[in-house]
Amino acid sequence: MPIYQMLGGRFRDKVRVYCDTDADKPSGTETGKRLKARMDLGFTFLKMDLGLAQISHIPGAVVAPAGVLDGFRTHAGRGRVRTLDERRARNAAYDAQNVPHPFTGLHFTEKGLDLLDQYIHEVREVIGYEVPLAIDHVGHISLQDGIRLARRIEKYAPAWLEDVIPWQYTEQYRQLQQATSVPICTGEDIYLKEAFEPLLNSGISVIHPDLLTTGGILETKKTGDAAQEHGVAMAIHMAESPIAAMAAAHVAVATENFMALEYHSVEVDWWDDIVTGLPKPLVKDGFITVPDKPGLGIDDIVDEVISQHLQPGVTDIWQPTDHWDDEYSWDRTWS
């Protein structure tokens, strides 16, 4: 029996996939071209980054306490540090990524907002206004700056604005959604349906659970059903393997208020080969067709494919992970 049948049956045969695209290009026009290439592949829903990452290097774009922005430009490696300079670099990177938004002291200037406005304007000039475009990775800014940015980009009709502040700040999310017409979205770090309920009561527009975080297939289905009772849509966060993708797809077809499923692997040509038993390509013309096969529809995992694409320093698959056991960890529970 297919998983979706165990969840009560399906509302649709295919799952709309939204294609996430890192906005690492220096101009909105270049990012727009990357997004347009996704559209040419058949994707009908898109997402891009818009925030600190695009402007933190530009003088006068961001107000920041001295040295804070250095951490955004530092990518400290794992393992034990050996020198004072290495520790300073690591601490700067840690603080930049782990201090919650209200306490960073980071603020967009009017110049910064103008630049972000121009960036998304250039994107829309390339891709048009017919395709939904969600916004992510705003940066660790305050509620007030999130409101300022949201109001600036309302005219570009974003599908949603994601993870503007930590999800735990329910009252701030209420203020944020009430201050803008842009749909506000969060949820990829939340565990269990009950933890979503304060946000659902606060009036956000889109929840964004990840099956690996929320508590699995059934818990995500329950979370989506709870959101529907509040008139809230559910998108699904997914930046993982075809196994997680199929688990999410079964939830998606079985949940009426589902909107779109995230997909990060459009440029990973071996992603489909990790498993057997599924159609290839799994994502075709921007959709996943959910099969009627038992369970997830997967036959087996292909160890050889995984072995060919290990991260540097990892010597084999299914090995102990002792190399992660050092004194350094990012333990934040928010994005």
The reply to whether 327 falls in a domain is no
The reply to whether 153 falls in a domain is yes
Q: Which of 73, 79, 22, 81 is nearest to 49 (CA)?
A: 22
Does the pLDDT of residue 67 top 90, yes or no? Answer: no
Same domain flag for 112 and 245 = yes
**Residue range 208-217, pLDDT digits in tens:** 999 999 999 9
pLDDT band for 240, please (50, 70, 90 cuts).
very high
7-21, 121-135, 176-190, 308-322: lowest mean pLDDT where?
A: 308-322
Q: What is the mean pLDDT of residues 108-135?
A: 98
Return the structure tokens found at 148: 């300022």
Find tokens 């040295």 and name the residue: 67
pLDDT at 78: 55
Q: What is the mean pLDDT of residues 226-238?
A: 98
Torsion sign, CA atoms 92, 98, 103, 104: positive
CA within 13 Å, CB half, 229: 12
Rounded distance, CA 76 to CA 94, Å? 9
Assess contact for 135 and 47: CB atoms under 8 A: yes
The mean pLDDT of the chain is: 93
Return the structure tokens found at 191: 């565990």
Same domain flag for 71 and 60 = no
Range from 10-24, 97-111, 168-182 that averages highest in pLDDT? 168-182
pLDDT band for 255, please (50, 70, 90 cuts).
very high
Same domain flag for 91 and 52 = no
The reply to whether 325 falls in a domain is no
The reply to whether 324 falls in a domain is no
pLDDT band for 80, please (50, 70, 90 cuts).
low
Instruction: For 182-209, give one letter per residue: b (16+ CB within 10 A) or e.
Output: bbbbbbbbbeebebbeebbebbbbbbbb
Same domain flag for 145 and 280 = yes
Rounded distance, CA 284 to CA 297, Å? 17
DSSP state string for 8-44: T--S-SEEEEEEEE---SSSHHHHHHHHHHHHHTT--
Could you give the number of structural domains in the chain? 2
Q: Which of 104, 129, 152 is the last residue of a domain?
A: 104
Same domain flag for 278 and 291 = yes
Domain span at residue 94 reads 65-104
Does the pLDDT of residue 28 top 70, yes or no? Answer: yes
Q: What is the mean pLDDT of residues 237-247?
A: 97
Same domain flag for 73 and 143 = no
Count CB neighbours of 41 within 10 A. Answer: 13
62-71, 85-94, 187-196, 241-250: lowest mean pLDDT where?
A: 85-94
The reply to whether 275 falls in a domain is yes
Rounded distance, CA 11 to CA 6, Å? 13
Return the structure tokens found at 167: 């999800």
Q: What is the mean pLDDT of residues 87-108?
A: 85
Same domain flag for 25 and 136 = yes
Same domain flag for 269 and 226 = yes
Assess contact for 139 and 107: CB atoms under 8 A: no
Same domain flag for 114 and 249 = yes
Does the pLDDT of residue 328 top 70, yes or no? Answer: no
Same domain flag for 85 and 230 = no
CATH (domain of 147): 3.20.20.120
Same domain flag for 148 and 16 = yes
Assess contact for 325 and 53: CB atoms under 8 A: no
Same domain flag for 89 and 13 = no
What's the pTM value of the predicted model, to 2 decimals? 0.93
Query: What three-state secondary structure class fits 183?
Result: coil
The reply to whether 311 falls in a domain is yes
Return the structure tokens found at 233: 């849509």
